[in-house]
Structure 1
Amino acid sequence: MFRNLIPLLADRYHVVAPDYPGYGQSATPDRSTYAYTFAATVDIVDKLMVRLEAKSYAMYVMDYGAPVGYRLALKHPERVSGLIIQNGNAYDEGLKEFWDPIKTYWSDGSAKSREALSGLLTLETTKFQYTDGMEDVSRISPDNWVHDQALLDRPGNKDIQLDMLYDYRTNVPLYPDFQRFFRERKPPTLIVWGKNDFIFPEAGAHPYLKDLPDAEIHILNSGHFLLEEKLDVAAPLINDFLDRNVAKK
């Protein structure tokens, strides 16, 4: 989703966009030797930022990237110069209907509940993530779900995804800590949210204003991967926000 945004930022900013282990072009270590958890993912990203000598950075957080970014912020709050939040949750209000079968898996950890989530990894669901709630589906390239599904269908990847879905439960108890970080550090924040997202609905966007009352919020008529449809709207908002709040630091 970020492939088209990055060039629009890279003329003025050093953009770092890693794939997590098991995702994209990153290595996929065996589950017997590597735990696919959010804590482990944060450790990898943290080591990368140290290797890059990145002592200050604005974070673009979306979906899984929200708890990864916020956990990293708890480790190094002084490094966060700004937040761009796009359909990424930090409040109980944002975990609605989509999450009900996942919460069942969280509660019992059973093989039955795990297998019940397999449908989330099918081509039908992958396409749904890109098209549901979009104002103009004709703007969404089918290459998105074809490419993503090819990666999801790699041997062993199903179990990696189900491991991560199970471990997402460990993020929820950290929500108060994330919210405390927002209140205490008050990083400049831009919220750009697809209001029709079924996975992370609009209800998860507005609670941020309780802890970040100065946040700039834009609710767009779009879905989960809004940059696929609304890049022409979102990119100027992001560039303007960074120019005003981050570039001068």
Structure 2
Amino acid sequence: MRRAITYRTAEVDGLPIFWREAGDPHAPALLLLHGLPSSSRMYQPLLERLSGRYRLVAPDYPGFGHSAAPEPAVFPYTFDRLAEVMIRFTEHLGLSRYSLFLQDYGGPVGFRMALAHPERLEALIIQNAVAHETGLGPAWVTRRAFWADRAANEAALRVNLLSPEATRRRHVGDDPAVEHYDPDLWTDELAFLGRPGQSDIQTKLFHDYGSNVAAYPAWQDWLRRTRPRLLVLWGRHDPSFDLSEPEAYRRDVPGAEIHILDAGHFALDTEADRIAALVGRFLQLTGNRNPTMENDMKEDEIVDSSFTAMIHAPLEKIDIPAWCFSLSEQEYQGCSPAHLAAGFTTAPDGRRMSINVEIIGGSLMVQHYVETFGRKDHLILESVSDVFTPSGRTTIHVHWEMSVKPLESGICEFTNRVRSTATPEFKTFLDRQGIPFDVFRAQRQPMSIAHNRGETPLFAASIERVAIAS
């Protein structure tokens, strides 16, 4: 179900900042950062298509769209300053966790935000935004000359960047199917660029673009170190950015999901339906780890991860305990390559038990999950699990919790939370080997989180199949 789009303005750092918003304010947030010379208007197609599942927030930077546009003499038009204002904007809205969608100028603004506050980032979506010098195409010869000598090259830069032909070409590029592009896309932008003072603002800001190129190595290092959940969408007809850029991102983040689109620099111009579908699916597979869980991590806690996925079935058809305690070995194995065997029985006290055998981080684990709470839409299981390692056998305690909640007619959100803690036996096991618990925990967490992230959408699909068949 689509939700109405709202159009608002708030004062941020003394500047009126305009934004478009759609979706449930309690839903996972997607912050959409626009390009040049566009505004939040470019994201209207996504707000219309994804507002039933997510909170979408699309602001205009200072100097763009309907936000304030003070003269360059009184406002420093730099990418550092735009990022600072956008950080304050998210704080004004109370956005403590969000995924980022970065297009063109959204790249340098968004990377600064991510590096300043990595704890706020759920996932990263990049659409024709560059973080590698090899991604800058032939049009950048004139632009580099402008950075080197502004006075000598400013006139050429304005033609290269802001002229009617440049504005049209930024949309169409070398796409032969020009009939698919609405001319209002660039004529509206030209009307914006024709407002008093706009050429000076955009020229001043672009003179700072060289600071982005200088920051590329730091952004690449952050990508390689943190390996964020990354979706790269790339319009192949872009006249500004090179088609080699998506693979450069893959080298930084090997697990990145990449799609090359038959589109231009502003891929939403012609591929809105496909982009919405890809973004929606990607976000379904993205974990919504609760920061309060992370902050409240107990001394003996190994990992606490929570991921969500969609189940396309009505709530009344879903019965998680019935699914769990009838899960066949073949079905269990199909939910992760790390799953080896499964069965179900009863504990000595008569409670239902699910037995799962899997490999996580190179260790064989036998889980004895005993039901501690069971309702059709909510199941909690506890296990003192056997862990077999090259150094011997030990145990850990695992809390497994699954739940569903309705989102809209016929669609539910499935949450898969797994929390593991060290038993006294496990701590003794580490002590005998001289392994500090904090070191083990730091090594174990990414493996356990990756396992949970991978199995969650497949568990959801399995529950959906059972629900539909019932």
TM-score (norm: length of structure 2): 0.51
State the one-letter code of the partner of 2:156: A
Q: CA contact under 8 A between 2:193 and 2:199: conserved in structure 1?
A: yes
Q: How big is the shift at 1:4?
A: 0.9
What's the TM-score, normalizing by structure 1? 0.96
Q: Trace 1:64-103 onto structure 2 (pairs within 5 A).
A: 64-103=105-144
Give the secondary structure class of the aligned counterpart of 2:285: helix
TM-superposed CA distance for 1:72, in Å, is 0.7
Structure 1 match to 2:102: 61
Give the CA deviation at 1:246.
Answer: 4.5
Matched residues in 1 for 2:184 and 2:49: separation?
21
Distance in 1 of aligned mates of 2:98 and 2:198: 31
Candidates 59, 64, 67, aligned match of 1:23: 64
Q: Which has the higher helix share?
A: 1
State the match for 2:263 in structure 1.
222
Between 88-97 and 4-13, the greater mean CA deviation after superposition: 4-13
Q: What fraction of aligned residue pairs are identical, expressed as a percent?
A: 39
Deviation of 1:19 (Å)? 0.6
Q: Is contact 2:97–2:121 with CA below 8 Å preserved after alignment?
A: yes
Structure with the larger strand share: 2
Aligned equivalent of 1:112:
152
In structure 1, distance between residues paired with 2:200 and 2:177? 33
Moved more, 129-138 or 236-245: 129-138
Mapped pair 1:210 → 2:251: yes
In structure 2, list runs of 5 or more residues that go unmatched. 1-41, 289-306, 309-470
Mapped to 2, the partners of 1:228 and 1:179 lie a distance apart of: 28
Q: Do the aligned partners of 1:63 and 1:88 also contact (CA within 8 Å) in 2? A: yes
Structure 1 residue runs of 5 or longer lacking an equivalent are none
**Mapped contact 2:172–2:237 kept (Cα < 8 A):** no
> CA 1:25 to 1:246, structure 2 compared with 1: closer, same or farther past 3 Å?
farther
SS where residue 123 of structure 2 aligns? Answer: strand
Contact 2:103–2:129 (8 Å) recurs in 1? yes
2:108–2:212: 8 Å Cα contact kept in structure 1?
A: yes
The aligned counterpart of 1:237 is 278
Aligned residues: 248
Please list the CA deviations of residues 24-80 of structure 1 after superposition, one character each: whole Å capped at 9, or x if unmatched.
111111111101110110011000011111111100011010010001111001111
Q: Is the 8 A contact 1:92 1:204 kept in 2?
A: no
Question: How far apart in 2 are the matches of 1:246 and 1:26?
Answer: 32
Letter aligned with residue 266 of structure 2: F
C-alpha distance in 1, partners of 2:92/2:211? 27
* Cα deviation 1:62-110 (Å, max 9, x = unaligned): 101001000111100111110111100000110121111110111123x
**Distance (Å, rounded) in 2 between the aligned partners of 1:101 and 1:122:** 14
**Once superposed, which parts of structure 1, at least 4 consecutive aligned residues long, lie more than 4 Å away?**
none
The one-letter amino acid of 2:180's match is R
